[in-house]
Amino acid sequence: MQLSATAIEVIALAAVGIGLVALIVAVVATVRVRSLTRDYLLLQGDDDADSFVTAVTKQIDEVTALRRDIAEQSAAVNRLADDLRDAIRHIAVVRYDAFGDMGGRYSFSVAMLDDSGDGLVLTAIHSRSDTRTYFKGVREGTGLEELSPEEVRAVALARGQED
């Protein structure tokens, strides 16, 4: 089977066309590979510097550690807040003349309470010959034993209920 000159020319032109298309595809692929290589080298970094991936990994590890530290600190603050609510930090003193003839206000009642009104009242009654001291427990702002008017006032002052 012999081909005519025209058929050979068409085949030759088709081969040249296919060759040109292949050449264009090869050039585009080479440019793309160079671009990807440049991007990869940028991510990988120099020999003396960390790569982008390594730097991001370190940042992720540091953020994770910071979040863990924040959670621990938050728990510690919550524990301290609980302890503070139970601390005796509301204190009031009421001074008075217990007997009316002493000429001074040497007797006193001191209320010492926590945030929920629990604590104690210390009362010292001063007379001409001696001083007597009493402790009374307080639960939720109420005396566990009967409180004197001065002790009631001290508890109210400590709770911020009276001026």
pLDDT above 70 for 47: no
Burial of 104 (0-12, 13-18, 19+ CB in 10 A): exposed
Residue 81 corresponds to which tokens in the numbers above?
């807040």
pLDDT at 102: 64
Rounded CA-CA distance 6/64 in Å is 74
pLDDT digits (tens, 9 = 90+) for 61-113: 999 999 999 999 999 999 999 888 889 999 999 999 888 776 678 899 999 99
Q: Which of 71, 123, 66 is nearest to 92 (CA)?
A: 123
Is residue 1 predicted with pLDDT exceeding 80? Answer: no
pLDDT for the residue numbered 163 = 59
Neighbouring residues of 72: CB distance < 8 A, sequence distance ≥ 6: none
Q: DSSP H helical segments within the chain, as ranges? A: 5-44, 52-86, 149-158
**Residue 105 pLDDT:** 83
